[in-house]
Each structure stands twice: as C-alpha cells, then as structure tokens.
Amino acid sequence: MDLELLMKYGPRMLHGLWVTLQLVGISLLIGGVLSLPIAMARLSKNKFFNGVSYAYVYFFRGSPLIAQLFLVYYGAGQLRYELQDINMWWFFRDAWNCTILVFALNTAAYQAEILRGGIMGVPKGQLEAAMAMGLKPLVTFFKVTLPQAMISSLRPYGNEVILMIKGSAIASVVTIFDLMGETKLAFSRTFDFEIYFIAALMYLAVVELIRFFWERMDTRLTRHLRPANEQ
Amino acid sequence: MGEYLQYLSYGDAGWGDELLYGMSITVRLFVATLPLGLVLGFLIALAKRSDKKWLSIPANIYTTIFRGVPELLTLFIVFYGGQIFIQMVVEFFVDDVIVDVSAFLAGMIALGFVFSAYASETFLSALNAVPQGQAEAARAMGMSWFRTMQKVVFPQVIRHALPGLSNLTLILQKETALVSILALDEVLRQTQIAVGNTKEPIFFYAIACGLFILLAFLTSIAFKKIEVWSSRGQERA
C-alpha cells in the first residue's frame, strides 16, 4: 500500500464517503416517507390511485437509475425558463438536489413494494380483532398493521439500504464528489490504480458494517416472534 | 409533435436508427452476460456447499466482495485494471503495443461477476431446498455425480431458483446502462449523443427509460413462460 498516496488522497476520499452516506441517508428518509402513500395507493381498491401508483413503481423499478438521473438533471436544464417562472430553478440548478430527488423517488418505489408486501403479510385476524375492539381504521393502521409490517420487512429494508449505497456511486457522473467522485478525481491525477482498490475496500467496509448491525437489529427486534426455546 | 416524430425517424435526419443500434448493443451485452453469470453463479454455489475449506472460503469471499462494491466501481476496476494488466503481460513479450480493452468485454466480465455473486446465493438456497435423500437415492442407484446433478438435482433447483433469478436478470438488464460511461454505444450512450445534437434531453431520456422498461417487460414475460415450463411436473393447486 502506497502510504504517500493514502496520506494525500485518503482524507478527501473519507470526506467523499461522508458525502455518500449523507446522500444515501437523506434519500432513504425522504423515500421512506414517500413510500407510505404509494404503498397505500397500491393497496387501494380505487382504480385511479392503484393505476397511478402501479405506473410509478413500474417506471422507477423498470428503468436504470442512471437514466432517471440524466432525465431529471439534464431535463431541468431544458425547462430552465419554465422553472424560473415558478421559482424552482434554484432547486434544480444544483446537481446535489437533482440527485437527492431522483434517488428519493427511486427508493420510494422500492420501499413502497417492500412495505406493501409487509402490510399484506399481516394476518387478517389482527385487523378483525382491532375492529372488534372498536379501533378506528386509521388507529388500526398505525398501531396494529404498520408496526408489524415494518418488522417483517426489516430484511428487505436492509437490502435496500445496501443497494442504495452501491447505487449512489452513479452520483459521481453528475459532478457530485461522493466517494466514487473523489476516487475518479484522484485516479485522473495520479493514474495510480491502487486508488480504486482503496475505494472498493471503503465501500465494502461500510456495506459489511451495515449488514452486521442490521442482522443484530433484526435478531433483537424479532425475538418475540420466535418460540422461547430458540432464543 | 411532428418535430418529435422527425427526431425518431430512421435515417440521417432522425435518431431512430441510432437508438435501435444502441438497443441491439444493450441486448447483446445482456444476452452475453447472462449465461456467464449463471454458470459462474452455479459453480460458486456448489463451491460454497463443499466441505473442502479451500473451495468454500474463497467462494464466500468472492460473494462478499461483489455484493459490497458498487457495480460502477467494479466496472472501472475491470476496465482500467484489465487494460493495465494485459498491457504488462504484452510488454513482457513485445514493445510498442498499446492494448485497448473493449468496453463490451469489460462490461460483460464486471456485470457477470456481480450477477454471479448474487445468483450463487439464489442457487445455494435452491440447492438446499432439494432434499438430500434424492441425490443419495440417485447415487445408490448407480448414477454418476454428473448424471445425478443433471437428471435429479438440477431440474428441481431451476424451479426453486427461478423467481430469484428473474429478479436478478431484471437488475442485470438495467445495469448494462452503466457501461455507457465507458463509451460503449448502447442505448443510453446513443441517447446522450442524440441529446447533445438536438438539445432535447427530456424527450430522449424519457425514450431511453421507455426502451429499458419495454425490455424489462419482455424479459418478465419470458420468465413467466419458463416458470410455467419448469413447474410442468408439479401438481396444480
């Protein structure tokens, strides 16, 4: 390992890693909030809501993230005057905002499907019991259905977090200096191939750490779902 | 409206032929990568199940690496790393030769590795779903290891693995778009060129997204068909 190289570009790459984590964290949070109404619409019997949410999910899961990013990032430039008219240009002018927007919309589609699966997995008897106890539908949803749906979806949620971290490397294509962006910059200055291996190790470390802690969290949060002798 | 139709026309004025060509490269890359990933994935799944440590440990490390490193970075490492490595080998024998690794090949290898890492997990759980006794019975009847695999284990593994493989295939298909960064003339790259000439990003990128969705739709239909075929021996509920 070339120490001089590490001393020179290591700090910048660590900062890039921090940018990656911010990007993923913010997108996942916004996407998580958005996923709730989308999942509800997907489960709704109303044809309009169902159709729109189905099309939304199909679009974001069916096309590549990088094409979606290009669509918004370059598309915003084309609509510059229209966006200026409605005072939204300041938002779309910034590559960071465009990237967060696209990542959040993308992960919202995936999270909505995870949540939908979770909600459908909650036994019907639970709802009937809640109804028999006189709980309102809204209370039933937030106190009975949602908590159970989220617990049974923990594993797919963890996978989504990891997929987002890996996918976020695409942000470097639209001038974001995340870990991948810093790595490409460092490589273009040094032509030292080791840079790529250092970056790979950094990504790997973060992904494995998340996997490890997520597993522990899953084991802990689902301990009441296992028979007593297995704990 | 007419203006947009003009953009898509086939020939010098429009980009229809360029996009179609890009589409053919995307499909070619996808079709070339899939068998590589499947075969590699199955072999790695077998290695993981092996009781020989020198097989199972490297197989697990392989999976960990390719499931943890971004596809884009893997692509760069294969592309630039491959170039540097082959250059070194060539320079050892002859001077003054500059090696160019094709973006297609780099994409095929990188995406194939990533696909095989995920596929090996799918195959592993599918292999575990086939009762051990079946293979033992086949061996007891004098079938060779290969025959047992071919006639008893594999047909069942396919059935168990199909839903997972179908997902992975759709992911692989979208990932081929990444190779546009290495200037391979697939759909997204052709779209970028069209945008550069016409200054119509919204229209063309929407078309590109639509083409990928169309491809995903066709692939999912194909998988439905294979699923029906693979469970033809199953009782219908």
pLDDT digits (tens, 9 = 90+) for B54-67: 999 999 999 999 99
Topology of the domain covering A3-222: MetI-like fold (1.10.3720)
> What pLDDT, on the 0 to 100 scale, is given for residue B84?
87
Q: What does pLDDT average to over chain A?
A: 93
User: What CA–CA distance (Å, rounded) separates B177 from A63?
Assistant: 9
- Residue A143: both structure tokens together: 């106190």
Is the distance from CB of A211 to CB of A18 less than 8 angstroms? Answer: no
> What pLDDT, on the 0 to 100 scale, is given for residue A230?
61
- Residue A1: both structure tokens together: 């390992």
> What pLDDT, on the 0 to 100 scale, is given for residue A227?
80
**Residues of chain B where predicted confidence (pLDDT) is lower than 70:** 1, 235-237
Q: Is the pLDDT of residue A80 over 60?
A: yes
User: What CA–CA distance (Å, rounded) separates A68 from A160?
Assistant: 18
> What pLDDT, on the 0 to 100 scale, is given for residue B97?
79
User: What CA–CA distance (Å, rounded) separates B103 from B145?
Assistant: 39
Flag if B209 and A172 touch (Cβ within 8 Å).
Answer: no
Residue A200 in contact with partner chain B when CB distance is under 8 A: yes
Instruction: Give the DSSP H or E segment for A220.
Output: helix A194-221
Query: Of B60, B205, B215, which to mutate for an interface test with A (greatest number of A Cβ within 10 Å)?
Result: B205
DSSP state of B116: H
Q: Is the pLDDT of residue A1 over 70?
A: no
How buried is A123 (Cβ within 10 angstroms: 0-12 exposed, 13-18 middle, 19+ buried)?
Answer: exposed
Instruction: Please report, rounded to a whole number, the percentage of residues in chain A having pLDDT higher than 70.
Output: 98
User: What CA–CA distance (Å, rounded) separates B201 from B162?
Assistant: 37
Count CB neighbours of B17 within 10 A. Answer: 14
Per residue in A170-211, pLDDT (tens digit) is: 999 999 999 999 999 999 998 888 899 999 999 999 999 999
DSSP states of A145-156: IHHHHHHHTHHH
Half-sphere exposure (CA, 13 Å, Cβ side) for A90? 2
CATH of domain B2-230: 1.10.3720.10
- The count of CB pairs under 8 A between chains A and B is 112
ipTM of the complex: 0.91
User: What CA–CA distance (Å, rounded) separates B49 from B145?
Assistant: 15
User: What CA–CA distance (Å, rounded) separates B70 from B47?
Assistant: 24
- Residue A112: both structure tokens together: 């909505």
For chain A, the structural domain boundaries read 3-222
